[in-house]
Structure 1
Amino acid sequence: MIGMKEAVQRGLLRSFVWRGRASRAEYWWFVLFMMLCSWGADASAAVSDTTPLVPLLAGVFCLALGIPFVAVSVRRVHDIDRNGAWALVTLLPLVGLVFLCKRGDPMPNRYGPPPTSDLLVSTSQ
Structure 2
Amino acid sequence: MNWYIGVLKQYAVFKGRVRRKEYWMFIMFNMLFSTILSQLDKIIGTYHPELGFGTLSVIYGIAVFLPTLSVTVRRLHDYDYVGWWALLGLVPFGVILLLILHAREGTKGDNRFGSDPKRYKNESTMSI
Question: TM-score, structure 1 length as denominator?
Answer: 0.81
Q: Report the alpha carbon displacement of residue 60 of structure 1 after superposing the two structures with TM.
A: 0.8
Residue equivalent to 1:84: 83
Residue equivalent to 2:51: none
Q: Distance in 1 between matches of 2:14 and 2:7?
A: 11
Q: Distance in 1 between matches of 2:120 and 2:69?
A: 21
SS in 2 for 1:76: helix
SS in 2 for 1:9: helix
Residue equivalent to 1:104: 106
Contact 1:15 1:71 in 2 (8 A): yes
Q: Report the alpha carbon displacement of residue 39 of structure 1 after superposing the two structures with TM.
A: 0.3
Q: Report the alpha carbon displacement of residue 62 of structure 1 after superposing the two structures with TM.
A: 2.3
Using the TM superposition, name which of 67-76 and 93-102 deviates more: 93-102
Runs of 4 or more consecutive aligned structure 1 residues displaced over 3 Å after TM superposition? 117-122
Q: Report the alpha carbon displacement of residue 94 of structure 1 after superposing the two structures with TM.
A: 3.1
Q: Which has the higher helix share?
A: 1
Q: Report the alpha carbon displacement of residue 6 of structure 1 after superposing the two structures with TM.
A: 2.5
Identity over aligned residues, as a percent? 32
Contact 2:38 2:56 in 1 (8 A): no
Instruction: Kindly report the root-mean-square deviation, in angstroms, between the aligned alpha carbons of the 2 structures.
Output: 2.6
Give CA-to-partner distance per residue, 1:36-69, whole Å, 9 cap, x none.
Answer: 110011011000027x9xx434421222011100
Q: 2:4 aligns with which of 2, 5, 8?
A: 8
Q: Distance in 1 between matches of 2:10 and 2:2?
A: 12
In structure 1, runs of 5+ residues without a counterpart are: none
Aligned pair count? 118
Contact 1:81 1:111 in 2 (8 A): yes
Q: 1:35 aligns with which of 31, 34, 47?
A: 31
Report the residue type matching 2:62 in the other structure. L
Residue equivalent to 2:55: 56
Matched, 1:25 2:21: yes
